[in-house]
Amino acid sequence: MWMLRLLAVILVIAVGAGILLYVFTGNRAYLSFSWRLFRYGLVFALLVFALMFVERLAIIPL
């Protein structure tokens, strides 16, 4: 679980850095990179939560 938290912090830092670079340079590549990272991070988080939910459901009937 600590690794997921570490990945979340790294993701937030990377997205923030991309947005800041876009603000300072005006290069839209940084903004699209941040958006892509955010989407992949969101999909990954939803998959992890879905797996945790399925695991919780699988344990209850036993």
Alpha-carbon span 2 to 32, nearest angstrom: 28
Alpha-carbon span 15 to 34, nearest angstrom: 5
Phi and psi at 38, nearest 5°, equal -65, -45
Q: For position 56, what pLDDT does the model report?
A: 86
**Tens digit of each residue's pLDDT (9 = 90 or more) over 4-62:** 899 999 999 999 999 999 999 999 999 999 999 999 999 999 999 999 898 888 876 65
Q: For position 25, what pLDDT does the model report?
A: 95
* H-only helix segments in the chain: 2-25, 28-59
Q: For position 62, what pLDDT does the model report?
A: 56
Burial readout 34-56 (b: 16 or more C-beta within 10 A, e: otherwise) = beebbeebeeeeeeeeeeeeeee
pTM for this entry? 0.80
Q: For position 61, what pLDDT does the model report?
A: 61
